Homo-oligomer: A and B are copies of this chain.
């Protein structure tokens, strides 16, 4: 048993931490102040491109691609702790070109994309020149059960025709977003998991329309945002289909494991940041003649936060290690477990950090309300907690049947 990083992983980790401390932390507050002062916040401020260039120059770039020559060549386990660090900041993931949903989209194109798709879309994504969105969830059906999906990707001759409505297409508001990956029903008569296809859709294709940007607890999350998108007879050549018609679920499955580890590790980084804020506040704020840290149940809250973060991190690291050593099939339960455990844990800790900050906690003075919105939506994004727990239970029950 060994809980340490590989030598290479440790080196990247150290450099990412240093970069966060030297380059990102000092400018973050100013960045958001400037962004929020704009009439149109759907822009990339220059500082972002500057930092991207710096990170790229230092090789702190595309670190998420496991063991690939295109990225840093890190294992999932080694990358995990880096993702945790980037999760401490709302802007860090983009600066390292490690932000969702581009990471998942790049993985899809890397593992399943045609040469043409890779040339046209993967290359500029890896270069950080463009961004992308993922169009899967639909407003009119419970997406927790993906077979409900009603949008269609119909084959007509040499073309594939897309129709339907998607929402929570994160990143679609970003000015650099140029491509979407769309999932839709192709063959309703095929086997349950061979009915859907994934299609690469240039954002400017006729028939693609961003109907509105959704708010999360009152915040549009510019400049990336979350769009509701209609597809009205969107026609593309069949070559826009990824891998093959009906391969949608297979691809989604492969995209899943690492993506959840990334999400969860970033969430753990956010939890650490919330805990840090909570502790700093508890140490510095006084009431009834004592620092909050000595009042009532506050030490208990801090201790439980620490214990829950530690446990959630270890579970996520083990999941990453299972993906590295046994593949997705060897981590089925764990991938669901972390998705059920981590966002709930994060919500609780951010909520407690809010409470420790008093009235200021619900305002935008301490970044905590925004963190809460992001944390809370994680309990729904990529399937609600309930679906993941149901999966864990199913696998447990099968052990003794």
Query: Which chain A residues have a beta carbon within 8 Å of chain B's beta carbons?
Result: 1-6, 75, 77-78, 137, 139, 142-145, 148, 167-168, 214-219, 275-276, 279-280, 282-283, 285-288, 292-293, 295-300, 302-304, 306-307, 310-312, 314-315, 317-318, 320-322, 333-334, 337, 340-341, 351, 354-355, 358-364, 369-370, 372-373, 376-377, 379-381, 384-386, 388-394, 396-397, 399-401
Contacts and interface: CB of A to CB of B under 8 A. Distances in A.
Contacts of A376: 351, 354, 362
A306 B392 contact: yes
Nearest to A401: B283
Contacts of A380: 355, 358-359, 361-362
Q: Please report whether the interface of chain A is mostly helix, strand, loop or mixed according to DSSP.
A: helix
Contacts of A321: 1-3
Contact of A359 (B168, B317, B386): B168
A369 B217 contact: yes
B299 A215 contact: no
Nearest to A395: B306
B377 A306 contact: no
A144 B289 CA distance: 12
Given A296-B386, A303-B393, A306-B392, 14 more contacts: A1-B2, A1-B321, A2-B321, A3-B322, A142-B358, A167-B359, A218-B218, A282-B397, A283-B400, A303-B392, A307-B337, A310-B334, A358-B380, A358-B384
A360 B137 CA distance: 11
Contact of A279 (B6, B282, B388, B396): B396
Contacts of A351: 376
Given A218-B370, A310-B337, A386 B297 contact: yes
Nearest to A341: B307
A285 B142 contact: yes
Contacts of A384: 355, 358
B287 A144 contact: yes
A287 to B, nearest CB: 4
A218 B364 contact: yes
Given A296-B297, A300-B393, A389-B300, A359 B373 contact: no
Contacts of A298: 386
Nearest to A380: B359
Most B-side CB within 10 Å, residue of A144, A219, A322, A400: A400
A46 B6 CA distance: 51
Contacts of A288: 144-145
A125 B167 CA distance: 46
A218 B393 contact: no
A293 B358 contact: no
Given A142-B292, A302-B397, A310-B315, A216 B362 contact: yes
Contacts of A300: 296-297, 386, 389-390, 393
A277 to B, nearest CB: 10
